A and B are shown apart, each in its own frame.
Chain A
């Protein structure tokens, strides 16, 4: 068999399959399937934005909540750290008022008379105590 005969034979291959093919029915079937795929694609297209909205809302809650939590924690740290700085800004009179206020509110509570005996006081403290009792 030479090359030409082989090519002619190859050209005949599949000829009957091609003749039998119902081209119009194939075209319609292809169109139907493509239409169905497009419709399915559009359904996914409608579904996706809703899902994305849900994801975005969840992200806002997580990120927003985190930011609020960080701010609260940050402010509590800041208030304790900035206390000495605030005292620096006070005048002598203002500092005295603060100390008096602290003495009034917590001084007695911190060291009550029952908790401290005379044996615990040194000479200077005993003298100061006597002077205060004398008036």
Chain B
């Protein structure tokens, strides 16, 4: 029986961060590959539609650039992905401001999507659009806590570490967010 091939260990985020700091570009690329989709989902749900012509791809790219610039300040208070999403929140806020200045009205995401049954898309998209609109109206802390918890499935301790608050406060933000969203979707 031939000896089993050794399984290549998957490097941790911390190892990739250290490698990037040492000048390894591929480590940075791997971090992007690993977290880009989750970040895009978070940004897409956070109301990137309201950010004008800056599409999710641009926001994801900008978030990674800012994160790599600020890696020296990342102390492992939460997971790299969670930290990345808090940076994404800042990127989104800047995009909002820019959009307000340029007054570009974006196309709703469901109207841009040309694949699948248009009627189905319209029905499913209608509820999502109302939720997205509700999320945009929430205070930033409530919105981010809600998405990190409901969409990303993070624990309150992790969310609190990323947002610089306490788990108890994060829990309160989440419940306020849920209450307001339900009111808006009713």
Please indicate whether A and B come from the same complex rather than being unrelated chains: yes
Measured between alpha carbons, how far is A19 from B109 in the docked complex, in Å?
13
* B41 adjacent to A17 (CB under 8 Å): yes
Question: Residue-by-residue, is A24-50 near B (CB-CB < 8 Å gives 1, otherwise 0)?
Answer: 101111110111010000000000000
CB-CB < 8 A to A88: which residues of B?
none
Sorting the interface of chain B by its residue count into under 10, 10 to 19, 20 to 34 or 35 or more gives 35 or more
Stretch at the interface among A3-11, A51-59, A77-85, A95-103: A3-11
Total interface residues on A, CB under 8 Å, equals 30
Any B CB within 8 A of the CB of A21:
yes
Measured between alpha carbons, how far is A27 from B185 in the docked complex, in Å?
37
User: Top 3 closest A-B pairs, CB basis?
Assistant: A14-B44, A17-B44, A13-B45
If over half of A's interface residues share one DSSP class (helix, strand or loop), that class is named, otherwise mixed; here it is helix
Any B CB within 8 A of the CB of A23:
yes
* A23 adjacent to B45 (CB under 8 Å): no
* B128 adjacent to A17 (CB under 8 Å): no
* B57 adjacent to A9 (CB under 8 Å): no
Q: Which of A6, A15, A28 contacts B178 (CB 8 A)?
A: A6
* Subset of 29 A-B contacts with CB under 8 Å: A1-B182, A6-B131, A6-B181, A9-B127, A13-B41, A13-B151, A14-B42, A14-B48, A14-B151, A15-B41, A15-B44, A16-B44, A16-B109, A16-B113, A17-B43, A17-B44, A17-B48, A18-B38, A18-B41, A18-B56, A19-B37, A23-B36, A26-B64, A27-B33, A30-B28, A30-B32, A30-B61, A31-B28, A37-B69
CB-CB < 8 A to A11: which residues of B?
150-151
* B33 adjacent to A17 (CB under 8 Å): no
Q: A13-B151, A14-B151 are in contact. Are A23 and B41 (CB under 8 A)?
A: no
Question: Residue-by-residue, is B33-53 near A (CB-CB < 8 Å gives 1, otherwise 0)?
Answer: 100111011111110100000
Q: Which of B36, B42, B132, B135 contacts A26 (CB 8 A)?
A: B36
Any A CB within 8 A of the CB of B25:
yes
Q: A14-B151, A22-B57, A34-B28 are in contact. Are A1 and B43 (CB under 8 A)?
A: no
Question: Residue-by-residue, is B62-89 near A (CB-CB < 8 Å gives 1, otherwise 0)?
Answer: 0011001100000000000000000000
Measured between alpha carbons, how far is A18 from B42 in the docked complex, in Å?
9
* A21 adjacent to B150 (CB under 8 Å): no
* B128 adjacent to A9 (CB under 8 Å): yes
- Give me 12 other A-B pairs in contact (C-beta within 8 A), A13-B132, A14-B56, A30-B68 excluded: A10-B150, A13-B147, A14-B44, A14-B46, A17-B44, A17-B48, A17-B109, A18-B37, A21-B60, A24-B33, A26-B32, A29-B61
Any A CB within 8 A of the CB of B156:
no
